[in-house]
Structure 1
Amino acid sequence: MSVLSILEKLERMHKSLLELAHKKTDIIKANDIEALDELIKTEQAHVAAINTLEQQRQLMVTDYLRAKGIAYTDTPTVAELIDAIDSEEEKQQLITTRERLLALLTELKVRNDLNQKLVYQSLQIINIQLEPFRPQRSDSFNYSGDEVRGQSNQSKVTYYDSQA
């Protein structure tokens, strides 16, 4: 298995994750909590697979760079690999696949941000709907016991005097 094949698998997994993110938008709009729960489980499986592929990619890039005697960062990147490859054909394939993957990641981030905003708005609507059912607070009562004994909190004002 090559780094290119891992990148292509990562691309497929991210495309699938993006499709799930689009479905999630529709589910959030429909307020279908059960479907959202199922979709989140599927997303978690995708993320786990992506993490496994990413670990494989890092290991392969590390091995390649180490074999060529090239210094690399703690987490070797595809860009470092591209710089190290001699074959122009392989280099171009990696560049193209990397660009497609980066575009997918950007689109996925935008969609996830939208979904997060939709969930936040849904929660705000729920809070507004629940507001009439919440008990009303009254500032005229103090249940700490001070008012009952005739002591007012206002008479307990203290002043702090400090000297340097």
Structure 2
Amino acid sequence: MSVETICSTLEKLERMHKSLLELALKKTEIIKIGDIEALDQMLKDEQAHVAAIDKLEQQRQQQVTDYLVANGFAATDKMTVADVIEAAKQPADKEVLSAVRQRLLQLIQALKQQNDLNQKLVFQSLQVVNLTLGAFRPQQESINYSDKEVKGTNTIAKKSYFDSQA
């Protein structure tokens, strides 16, 4: 396993994350206009991207593990690109890996921020919908099931029918 193979996979991950970020930006606009059908399609597109990213991430993990084991490191569950950067023998390999890793980390951070914004927008939209529904919903009178007496048309106090039958 070579550093070039790992770099290639990282660059593919970078492209997929850029594409996912573009979808997240488009999703923000869709949420703002409230187009449910477009939002549904956007979610399907995002799921396809996430599945592809997951597959590439598994490849990256395997490549990193193979590289480190081939260079005499003990295999662990979480071997990272940072470990490969430390283990790389060529300074050029270290620089390339560091650059790609840094770009990918920046993309992931931007994607997190955009997803947080989208989540807040969706939450606010739901609040508006609930508020609107609440305004149109008739207010129900509270029903009192206590032992209070109910006054009828005559002057004698009566128990309510419900209370007397219970």
Q: TM-score normalized by structure 1? A: 0.84
Q: Which amino acid aligns with 2:105?
A: L
Conserved 8 A contact 2:7-2:96:
yes
Match of 1:70 in 2: 73
The percentage of counterpart residues that share the same residue type is 58
In the alignment, what sits opposite 1:25? 28
1:62 and 1:151 mapped to 2: Cα distance?
A: 76
Between the aligned partners of 2:81 and 2:69, the Cα distance in structure 1 is 14
Aligned to 2:131: 128
CA distance in 1, matches of 2:117, 2:18: 17
Find 2:91's aligned residue among 76, 88, 93.
Answer: 88
Unaligned ranges ≥5, structure 2: 147-159
Larger C-alpha radius of gyration, 1 or 2? Answer: 2
Does residue 11 of the first structure (1) align with residue 25 of the second (2)? Answer: no
Q: 1:151 to 1:58 in 2, by over 3 A?
A: same
SS of match in other structure, 1:149: helix
Question: In 1, Cα distance between the equivalents of 2:137 and 2:75?
Answer: 58
1:57 matched to 2:60? The reply is yes
SS at match of 2:144: coil
1:102 alignment counterpart: 105
Deviation at 1:112, TM superposition (A): 0.3
Note the aligned Cα RMSD (angstroms). Answer: 2.0
Amino acid of the residue matched to residue 6 of structure 1? Answer: T
The whole-number CA distance in structure 2 between the counterparts of 1:59 and 1:108 is 24
Task: Give, in angstroms, the shift of residue 149 of structure 1.
Answer: 2.9
Question: What amino acid is the match of 1:64?
Answer: Y
Residues 68-126 of structure 1: per-residue CA shift (max 9 Å, x gap): 12135412111011111101111100000000000000000000000000000000000
8 Å contact from structure 1 (residues 7, 57) kept in 2:
yes
Structure 2 residue matching 1:2: 3-state secondary structure: helix
In the alignment, structure 1 segments of 5+ residues that lack a partner are 153-164
Give distance in 2, aligned partners of 1:93 and 1:34. 42
Equivalent residues of 1:27, 1:35 under 8 A apart: yes
SS, match of residue 132 in structure 1:
helix
